[in-house]
């Protein structure tokens, strides 16, 4: 059995479809990092960086942060050595401009060996991006978003469907669970508006450009969704196990 190299994987879907939850499971399963642009931006906001200050108001309103800022942030992150065997992009690309930028970036820049020993082995094969669209009915998404609670170390619960053992406390790290400010119902509708106008065309872009698109029903038990993602990824990478 040859080693499975996941390469770059995009998890696409509306707010609340389970991208973050599934990306974390894939990270554990495949040993590649989850790169969530939402998490990176929240980190910037917490640290009061220039980018964080610019993004703050837009994020609170459920609007998208400008493409150039997010693209630069992703470019920086993709230079980290942990992305070599692949990575899961969660929440990116969210606009056609971001999708086109990513294709261009991966084709021309990412993947250059910086280590001289590695460079001497010649060019590394670059795997193309594959996109997996998680699909969940919009009625279910509202409950998922408004019920979502997060622990200090990023463990995700839902007070309706996946509550912690003790109310408001993380089973794993013991921290108090909090709700994201943009998970309130009013902001959810704003985020869905941004999704329909700007991100739905990105899904069509991957569906219609090249043979690199898979769709997974996300309205099932966590394990079943993970299993479907895994087999979709294996199929797209022509991996037989």
Footprint on this chain of ligand AMP (rule: CB under 6 A): 15, 37-38, 41, 58-59, 62-65, 70, 91-92, 94, 98, 182, 191
Q: How far is the CB of 217 from ligand AMP (least distance, A)?
A: 21
Active site residue 220: no
Q: How far is the CB of 141 from ligand AMP (least distance, A)?
A: 12
Q: How far is the CB of 91 from ligand AMP (least distance, A)?
A: 3
Active site residue 207: no
* Token duo for residue 141: 């998404």
Q: Which is nearer to ligand AMP, 182 or 237 (CB)?
A: 182
Q: Which is nearer to ligand AMP, 61 or 231 (CB)?
A: 61
- Contact of 41 with 55, CB cutoff 8 Å: yes
Of the candidates 148, 115, 124, 145, the one whose C-alpha atom is nearest the C-alpha of residue 15 is: 145
Active site residue 165: no
The alpha-helical segments, DSSP class H, found in 2-36 are 19-30
| Identified catalytic residue from 25, 94, 149, 237 | 94
DSSP string, 97-127: HHHHHHHHHHHHTTT---SHHHHHT-PPPPP
Active site residue 85: no
| CA–CA gap between residue 145 and residue 158 (Å, rounded) | 8
* Token duo for residue 70: 């997010």
Active site residue 45: no
Q: How far is the CB of 163 from ligand AMP (least distance, A)?
A: 21
Looking at the annotation, which residues are catalytic? 19, 94, 148, 180, 191
């Amino acid at each position: 059995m040859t080693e499975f190299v996941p390469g770059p994987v995009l998890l696409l879907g509306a707010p609340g479809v389970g991208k973050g939850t599934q990306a974390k499971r894939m990270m554990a399963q495949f040993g590649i990092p989850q790169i969530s642009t939402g998490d990176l931006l929240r980190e910037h906001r917490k640290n009061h960086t220039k980018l964080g200050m610019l993004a703050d108001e837009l994020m609170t309103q459920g609007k998208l942060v400008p493409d150039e800022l997010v693209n630069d942030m992703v470019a920086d992150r993709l230079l980290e050595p942990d992305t070599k065997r692949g990575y899961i992009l969660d929440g990116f690309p969210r606009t056609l401009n971001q999708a086109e930028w990513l294709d261009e970036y991966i084709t021309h820049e990412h993947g250059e060996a910086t280590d001289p020993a590695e460079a001497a082995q010649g060019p590394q094969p670059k795997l193309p991006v594959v996109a997996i669209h998680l699909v969940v009915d919009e009625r279910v998404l509202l409950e998922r978003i408004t019920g979502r609670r997060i622990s200090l170390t990023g463990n995700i619960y839902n007070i309706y469907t996946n509550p912690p053992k003790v109310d408001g406390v993380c089973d794993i790290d013991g921290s108090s669970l909090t709700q994201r400010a943009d998970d309130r119902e009013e902001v959810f509708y704003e985020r869905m508006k941004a999704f329909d106008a700007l991100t739905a065309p990105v899904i069509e872009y991957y569906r219609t450009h090249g043979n690199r698109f898979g769709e997974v029903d996300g309205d099932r038990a966590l394990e079943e969704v993970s299993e479907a993602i895994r087999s979709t990824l294996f199929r797209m990478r022509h991996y037989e196990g």
